[in-house]
Amino acid sequence: MNAAPAPKPGKLVTFEGPEGGGNSTQAAILAGKLRGIGLSVVTTREPGGTPTGEIIRDLLQNDLAREPLCDAAEALLFCASRAQLCRNVLAPALARGEWIVLDRFTDSTLAYQGYGRGFDIGTLRAMNDFATGETRPALTILLDIPAEAGLARAFARSGGGDRIESAPLKFHRRLREGYLALARGEPERFAVVDATATPDAVADAVWQAVKDRLLGGVC
């Protein structure tokens, strides 16, 4: 008797970008479109996506421990959340042949903790590799928006910034430039989308990129 064929491996699509670019909105729209063409899709986010990761998220964003978080601990906590998500959610889902739409991943650490906080990019890449094991994005959508415009949107939405949103404007400017540099360095993985356009126009550009890069131009 023949064994059942192994499922076709799934694909990981990550959304990245400065504050206010609309990652979560666009991730939800893309997941809906992928499900609409019959794919099985997992949606999740970083930091978070596991019980441990959600507690880490609260530490990172909402000052849960009520003590100033040093920059090194911040970088390690993002990677700890990532390790838990990769082992318990992402790698198993990909092995089952599912697609994953993920709101932030390794490039956030390079942009925010590297270009933003000033940590060495090579060290952060090694930390990312340690956290992720074999899990890599097939496509990364960079929702690009200037720092000022993105922060204005983020603050209007939340009514006041969280710990990271409240960092100085020059931090946000550096990380935006960092994202663009990362995208220039890996043009085959990144698709840069202008996130200042309307949500519908952004969603169309995202879908076009996914069709062109991952679905062989069909649909």
> Does residue number 16 form part of the binding site for ligand TMP (CB under 6 A)?
no
User: Which residue among 10, 22, 27, 78 contacts ligand TMP (CB under 6 A)?
Assistant: 78
Residue of closest CB approach to ligand TMP: 112
Least distance CB 103 / ligand TMP (angstroms): 6
My answer on whether omega of the bond before 7 falls inside 30° of 0, hence cis, is: no
- Let me know: does 138 contact 11? Beta carbons within 8 Å: yes
Phi/psi of residue 165, each to 5°? -60, -30
Among the listed residues 10, 20, 22, 47, the single contact to ligand TMP using CB under 6 A: 47
Instruction: Rule CB under 6 A: say whether 112 interacts with ligand TMP.
Output: yes
By rule CB under 6 A, what count of residues binds ligand TMP? 14
CB of 111 to ligand TMP, least distance (A): 8
Query: Nearest 5°: phi and psi at 193?
Result: -120, 135
Least distance in Å: CB of 137 to ligand TMP?
13
Q: Is 180 in the site for ligand TMP (CB under 6 A)?
A: no
Q: Contact between 76 and ligand TMP (CB under 6 A)? A: no
Q: Give the three-state DSSP class for 146.
A: coil
Rounded to whole angstroms, the Cα distance separating 170 from 149 reads 13
Burial class (CB in 10 A: 0-12, 13-18, 19+), 77: middle
Any contact of residue 109 with ligand TMP (CB under 6 A)?
A: yes
Burial 143-173 (b: 16+ CB within 10 A, else e): bbbebeebbebbeeeeeeeeebbebeeebbb
CB 22 within 8 A of CB 202: yes
Could you say whether residue 135 binds ligand TMP (CB under 6 A)?
A: no
Nearer to ligand TMP, 117 or 211 (CB): 117
Check residue 45 for interaction with ligand TMP (CB under 6 A).
yes
CB of 147 to ligand TMP, least distance (A): 12
Residues near ligand TMP (CB under 6 A): 19, 23, 45-47, 78, 103-104, 108-109, 112-113, 164-165
